[in-house]
């Protein structure tokens, strides 16, 4: 900022910082705090209700303090329902999908950014085209192929189709293009093959982008519902999203059972919440986001 142009407005601004300025600022805070309450309150209600008794949940849905604390909902979930199985399946699927995406996305991203081969540009154009296909449109098609391949209702059918994603490849390609090529050249002159260069030289440098992929894949596969609906049916392969959705729609039980359902919703939120809070700075400070570091 040049000092001369900056001076005048700043001067007027300080003059405003009198009664009117304070009033305006209080209003700003009041509005933001009100909105923040609206955003946070539902989650607090969720937590509180999960510790309530059924009658209490129905009688006083707004209160954040249960009349009598009870962990009945959690006990039922973990001791006498399929919930642990759902949780286990979600963990398996999420870990494998995240690992697969980190590796395969960066591998393909690197090739598209750096390796010279015929057809590279065509491949990239196809990738962009594929990105444009809306996911829901693929529900039935995916089932058809999974069924045809004989991997319907298996972990393979649930995991393999998610192992790579066009958007992730796109992010990795963009990142690799921002790394100076000189580093790799050096490694190549020292006699390292393409995979060696990728694995030991370039990938370690891509940590910020890799973390972005980890966050997106973790969130994406943990929260995925539609794909698991069309790729599996046996109770032993139900993931959290599918199980809780069926619980909510009353396919598995009768009655309202709000504490039970809300306890399930609370638990399934915890892993993504942890990832969110661990990487909070990276996710929220949008301007100095991963790719630009």
Tokens of 42: 């539902």
Determine the 3-state secondary structure of 62 from DSSP. coil
Among 92, 179, 205, 291, indicate the residue that binds other proteins (CB under 8 A): 291
Cα angle for residues 172, 175, 179 (degrees, 5° grid): 135
> If 0-12 CB within 10 Å is exposed, 13-18 middle and 19+ buried, where does residue 232 land?
buried
Site string for other proteins, 96-125 (x = CB under 8 A): --------x--xx-xxx--xxxxxx--x--
Q: Does residue 177 contact residue 66 with C-beta atoms inside 8 Å?
A: no
Tokens of 7: 């001076």
Candidates 70-78, 79-87, 199-207, 277-285; binding stretch for other proteins (CB under 8 A) = 277-285
Tokens of 62: 């707004």
| Beta carbon of residue 227, minimum distance to other proteins (angstroms, whole number) | 10
| Beta carbon of residue 221, minimum distance to other proteins (angstroms, whole number) | 11
Q: What part of residues 199-228 is at the interface with other proteins (CB under 8 A)?
A: 212, 216, 219, 222-223, 225-226
| Beta carbon of residue 96, minimum distance to other proteins (angstroms, whole number) | 14
Tokens of 109: 């991203």
Q: What part of residues 5-24 is at the interface with other proteins (CB under 8 A)?
A: 5-6, 8-9, 12
290 binds other proteins (CB under 8 A): yes
Among 23, 43, 69, 150, indicate the residue that binds other proteins (CB under 8 A): 43
Residue of 48, 82, 51 lying closest to 251 (CA atoms): 82
133 binds other proteins (CB under 8 A): yes
Please say which residue, 236 or 292, places its beta carbon nearer to other proteins.
Answer: 292
Tokens of 36: 């923040």
Residue 72, CB half-sphere, CA atoms under 13 Å: how many? 14
| Beta carbon of residue 68, minimum distance to other proteins (angstroms, whole number) | 19
């Amino acid at each position: 900022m040049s000092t001369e142009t900056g001076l005048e407005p700043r001067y007027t601004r300080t003059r405003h910082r009198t009664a009117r300025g304070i009033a305006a600022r209080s209003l700003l805070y009041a509005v933001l705090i009100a909105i923040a309450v609206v955003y946070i309150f539902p989650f607090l209600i969720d937590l509180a209700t999960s510790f309530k008794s059924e009658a209490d949940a129905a009688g006083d849905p707004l209160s954040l303090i249960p009349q009598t604390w009870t962990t009945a909902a959690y006990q039922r979930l973990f001791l006498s329902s399929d919930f642990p199985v759902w949780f286990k399946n979600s963990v398996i699927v999420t870990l494998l999908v995240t690992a697969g995406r980190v590796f395969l996305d960066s591998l393909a991203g690197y090739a598209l950014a750096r390796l010279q081969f015929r057809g590279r540009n065509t491949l990239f154009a196809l990738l962009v085209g594929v990105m444009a296909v809306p996911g829901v449109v693929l529900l039935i098609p995916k089932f058809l192929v999974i069924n045809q391949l004989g991997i319907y209702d298996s972990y393979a059918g649930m995991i393999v189709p998610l192992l790579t994603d066009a958007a992730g490849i796109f992010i990795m390609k963009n990142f690799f293009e921002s790394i100076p090529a000189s580093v790799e050249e050096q490694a190549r002159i020292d006699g390292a093959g393409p995979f060696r260069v990728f694995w030991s030289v370039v990938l370690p440098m891509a940590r910020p982008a890799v973390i972005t992929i980890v966050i997106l894949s973790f969130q994406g596969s943990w929260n995925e519902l539609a794909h698991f609906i069309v790729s599996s049916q046996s109770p032993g392969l139900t993931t959290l999203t599918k199980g809780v959705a069926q619980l909510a729609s009353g396919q598995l039980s009768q009655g309202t059972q709000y504490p039970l359902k809300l306890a399930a919703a609370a638990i399934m939120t915890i892993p993504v919440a942890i990832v969110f809070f661990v990487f909070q700075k990276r996710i929220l400070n949008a301007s100095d986001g991963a790719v630009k570091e």
